[in-house]
Amino acid sequence: EIQRRLTEQLLSPVRWAPTLRRMHEEGADRFVEVGTGQVLQGLVNRTLGSDVEAVGAGTADEIADITST
């Protein structure tokens, strides 16, 4: 069972864009990329456009700042 599920997980497509769109439809308008990169922020902006905010947080202090606003 574990091997089958792992294989399924590795071979199944990532549903990034449909998931983002659904989150936005449900009211999400701010997306936080935790880590030092900016790739996911760019994907959010390209997928949803300018009516959402995509921000990054690469340190514990940045995460604390984002979660306190």
Give pLDDT tens digits for 37-65.
999 999 999 999 999 999 999 999 999 99
Residue 69 predicted with pLDDT over 80: no
**Distance of CA 49 to CAs 6, 28, 44, 61, 65, Å?**
34, 13, 8, 28, 24
What pLDDT score was predicted for residue 24?
98
- Kindly report the pTM of this predicted structure: 0.76
Q: With bands split at pLDDT 50, 70 and 90, how would you rate the model's confidence at 68? A: confident
Confidence of residue 67 (pLDDT cuts 50, 70, 90): confident
d(CA 3, CA 26): 34
- Alpha-carbon gap, residue 54 to 49, rounded angstroms: 10
